Chains A and B, each alone.
Chain A
Amino acid sequence: MAGKPLAGIRIVDLGWVWSGPYACMMLAHLGADVIRVESSLRPCLLRILPPWPGGVPGSASAGGGTFTNNNLGKRSISLDLKTPDGLEVARRLIASSEAVVNNYAAGVIERLGLGYKNLRKLKDDIILVCLSGMGDTGPYREFVAYGQGQAAMSGFTRFTGVPGRPPKTAGFVLADPVAGAHGAFAVLAALRHKRKTGQGQFVDMSQWEATLQMVGDAVVGYQLSGLEPQAMGNRHPQMSPHGLFRCKDAEGEPGKLLDAWVSIAVADDSQWCRLCEAMDARALASDKRFGTLQARKSNETELEAIIGAWTRQKSARAVTERLQGLGIATFPSSTHLDVFEDSNLRERDFFAELTHPAHGRHAYPGVPWRMNDTVVSVDRPAPTLGQHTEEVLDELGYSRGEIERLHSVGALK
Chain B
Amino acid sequence: MTSALAGIRVLEIGEMITAPYAAKMLGDMGAEVIKLERPQAGDRARHMGPFPTEEVDPERSGLFLYLNTNKQGITLDLASDKGREILGGLLKRVDVVLHNIHPPEMDRIGLTYAAVRMINPSVVMTSISPFGLHGPYRNYVAEDLTTWNAGGAGYTNGAGDGDPDMPPLRPFGSPSSYAGGAHAAIATMGAIIGRDMSGEGQHVEVAVQAVVAAMAGNIMAWPYTGKVQTRLVHNLTQPLEAMEAKGGWIWIQALEEHQWQKFVELMGSPAWATKPEYSNKIERTANWAQLRPLVWEWVSRQDVLDLCLRAQASRVPFAPLSTMKTLLESPHLDERQFFVALDHPVAGQLKYPGALAKFPACPWNAHDAAPTLGQHNETVYRDLLKLSSNEIAGLRRAGVI
Contact = CB atoms under 8 A, between A and B. Distances in A.
Of B153, B244, B253, B321, which is in contact with the most chain A CB atoms at under 10 Å from its CB?
B321
A328 B358 CA distance: 41
Nearest to B347: A224
A189 B29 contact: yes
B48 A238 contact: yes
Interface stretch (A47-55, A89-97, A385-393, A394-402): A47-55
A402 B92 CA distance: 57
B324 interface: yes
B167 A144 contact: no
A164 interface: no
Contacts of A152: 242, 249-251, 319-322
A167 interface: yes
B214 A368 contact: yes
A343 B209 CA distance: 12
Contacts of A171: 153-154, 156-159, 169, 171
Nearest to B102: A327
B353 A212 contact: yes
A159 B174 CA distance: 12
Contacts of B358: 135-136, 203-205
Contacts of B29: 189
Interface residues of B, number: 152
A215 interface: yes
Given A345-B210, A368-B207, A148 B171 contact: no
A324 B141 contact: yes
A74 interface: no
A205 B357 contact: yes
Given A213-B353, A216-B67, A224-B350, A185 B182 contact: yes
Contacts of A329: 140-143, 145-146
B241 A166 contact: yes
Nearest to A140: B332
A242 B138 CA distance: 22
B150 to A, nearest CB: 4
Given A149-B317, A209-B338, A373 B202 contact: yes
A219 B66 contact: yes
A200 B145 CA distance: 40
Nearest to A178: B179
B376 to A, nearest CB: 21
A161 B66 contact: no
Contacts of A222: 50, 62, 324-325, 328
Contacts of B361: 190, 193, 197, 199-201
27 contacts: A55-B225, A144-B312, A152-B251, A153-B319, A189-B189, A196-B2, A203-B359, A218-B62, A221-B63, A223-B62, A225-B52, A225-B53, A229-B324, A242-B145, A244-B154, A258-B228, A261-B154, A336-B222, A340-B223, A344-B131, A344-B207, A350-B213, A369-B205, A370-B204, A371-B187, A371-B190, A373-B200
A232 B228 CA distance: 27
A234 B173 contact: no
A130 to B, nearest CB: 9
B190 A238 contact: no
Given A193-B362, A329-B142, A252 B228 contact: yes
A69 interface: yes
Contacts of B49: 221, 225, 237-238
A224 B193 contact: no
A280 interface: no
A192 interface: yes
The 3 tightest CB contacts between A and B, nearest first, are A221-B62, A221-B50, A65-B220
B25 interface: yes
Contacts of B357: 129, 182-183, 186, 203-206, 209-210
B58 interface: no
A374 B186 contact: no
B183 interface: yes
A223 B317 contact: no
Contacts of A327: 141
A150 B97 CA distance: 33
A370 B72 CA distance: 28
A99 interface: no
Contacts of A237: 49-50
A197 to B, nearest CB: 6
Interface in B336-355: 336, 338-339, 347, 350-355
Contacts of B134: 347-348, 370
B91 interface: no
B205 A370 contact: yes
Nearest to B179: A178
A340 B328 contact: no
A185 B356 contact: yes
B325 A368 contact: no
Given A145-B319, A373-B203, A156 B220 contact: no
Contacts of B322: 152-155, 158
Contact of B2 (A177, A193, A338): A193
Contacts of B169: 160-162, 168, 171, 233-234
